[in-house]
């Protein structure tokens, strides 16, 4: 959990820094630091669901190839 929290702090810091450097606004940097990681987290959730589905289908197909023909 410590590693996750550390990564989250780095992610927010980078998002804020990039937003601030591009806009010159603390408000814009702060908004980006809140919105971007939130959307990224939601996108990652759906990415994992799709990834797991493809992984299961790939394992199923590999299992069918490994079975001897009758």
Q: pLDDT grade, residue 3 (50/70/90)?
A: confident
Asked if residue 32 lies in contact with residue 25, where contact means CB atoms within 8 angstroms, the answer is: no
Specify the pLDDT at position 32: 94
In a domain, 70, yes or no: no
In a domain, 48, yes or no: yes
Q: pLDDT grade, residue 38 (50/70/90)?
A: confident
Instruction: Tell me which residue range forms the domain holding 7.
Output: 2-63
Q: pLDDT grade, residue 21 (50/70/90)?
A: very high
Q: What predicted TM-score, i.e. pTM, was given to this entire model?
A: 0.60
Question: CA separation (Å) from 4 to 1, 22, 48, 54?
Answer: 5, 27, 17, 26
Q: What is the mean pLDDT of residues 6-28?
A: 93
Asked if residue 15 lies in contact with residue 37, where contact means CB atoms within 8 angstroms, the answer is: yes
In a domain, 43, yes or no: yes
In a domain, 69, yes or no: no
As for how many domains the chain has, the answer is: 1
Asked if residue 20 lies in contact with residue 28, where contact means CB atoms within 8 angstroms, the answer is: yes
Specify the pLDDT at position 2: 83
Specify the pLDDT at position 56: 87
């Amino acid at each position: 959990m410590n590693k996750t929290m550390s990564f989250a702090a780095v992610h927010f810091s980078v998002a804020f820094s990039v937003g601030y450097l591009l806009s010159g606004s603390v408000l814009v940097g702060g908004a980006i630091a809140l919105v971007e990681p939130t959307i990224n987290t939601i996108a990652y959730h759906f990415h994992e669901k799709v990834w797991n589905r493809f992984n299961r289908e790939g394992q199923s197909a590999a299992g069918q190839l490994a079975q001897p023909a009758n």
